[in-house]
Amino acid sequence: MIETTEPVRVTGAEPAIRLSAVSKVHGSGDRAVTALDAVSIDLPRGTFTAVMGPSGSGKSTFLHCAAGLDRPTSGSVLLGGTDLAALDEKRLTEVRRERVGFVFQAYNLVPSLTVEQNIVLPLLLGAGAPDREWLGHVVRRVGLADRLHHLPSQLSGGQQQRVAIARALITRPDAVLADEPTGALDSRTGRQVLELLRDVVDSTGQTVLMVTHDPVAASYADRVVFLTDGRLAGALDRPSPEAVAERMTQLGEW
Ligand SMILES: Nc1ncnc2c1ncn2[C@@H]1O[C@H](COP(=O)(O)OP(=O)(O)OP(=O)(O)O)[C@@H](O)[C@H]1O
């Protein structure tokens, strides 16, 4: 008798974010600029992806399309299995609030609110009640348990960015999207923020997508994808800072 062993089929969980042939044209006529040109990519759940490329290569547009902040001219974006193109503005805003966490270079905290109030703000806007247990977990993870009643102005830059990361995590989003999160930090504080993002992926299975110009920052990711002229121009898995820097040099100016 011949025994056949069926290969175990790993169906692969649905990606946190899927872009299919996404193009984005800004403006029209003579002024039209193709910022993204038929980009297709899956960001698997529980992974950390960095996006790099020369200035003007489409990194921010990529992040904004992936997050539903910008609507593609063509192609589709699935966020946690939801087709963003099918949503009206109101629903898109809700989906963005519930399913995506944002971290920006300028921390974007509300100066008159305490650390705790800033962290739970997305829940209040969405009329959800803060889950004290999850809040406790998030503030411990970012190392801010003893700063909850401080104002942002009483914190260092790195601490403020950690508040922003906690705020991004409070809704348990499908993905955390970070645009140059260490751009305003010195290298030591920047490393702490990158270690935190890495830990968020490793210990909570979160998905992180980060735009950066810094090869060291990119080396914290599982994978770096490169953009030039709005197109994907390769990727590096388990990137070292040296390999990322070399690839960026090949792609032209930074
Ligand atoms: N609102 C807009 N209107 C017109 N053109 C735009 C707009 N936003 C972006 N662009 C153009 O689209 C292209 C990609 O821009 P994008 O900001 O995505 O690049 P980037 O890689 O993030 O750049 P940088 O590293 O300099 O921030 C650029 O040529 C830019 O000038």
Q: Which atom of ligand 1 is nearest to the CA of 31?
A: 4
pLDDT of residue 100: 93
107 found inside a domain? yes
Residue 224 falls within a domain, yes or no?
yes
> Does the beta carbon of 143 lie inside 6 Å of ligand 1?
no
Residue of 61, 65, 105, 229 to test ligand 1 pocket, by largest number of atoms within 8 Å of CB: 61
In a domain, 160, yes or no: yes
In a domain, 11, yes or no: no
Task: Identify the domain containing residue 237 by its residue range.
Answer: 17-250
| Residue 58 CB–ligand 1 contact under 6 Å | yes
Any ligand 1 atom below 6 A from CB of 75: no
Amino acid letter, residue 89: E
- Residue 8 in any domain: the answer is no
Residue 1 clears pLDDT 50, i.e. is over it: no
The CATH number assigned to the domain holding 131 equals 3.40.50.300
Q: Does 10 reside within a domain?
A: no
Between CA 10 and CA 6 the distance in angstroms is: 12
pLDDT, mean over the chain: 90
Minimum CA distance residue for ligand 1 atom 28: 56
212 close to ligand 1 (CB < 6 Angstrom): no
How confident is the model over 218-245, as a mean pLDDT?
Answer: 96
Q: Give me the torsion for CA of 58, 63, 66, 70, rounded to 10°.
A: -80
Write b or e for each residue in 222-248: b if 16 or more Cβ atoms lie within 10 A of its Cβ, otherwise e: bbbbbbeebbbbeebeebeeeebbebb
What is the value of pTM for the model shown? 0.89
Does 12 map to a domain? Answer: no
- Tens digits of per-residue pLDDT, 74-107? 999 999 889 999 999 999 998 998 899 999 989 8
Our count of domains for the chain comes to 1
Residue 1 belongs to a domain: no
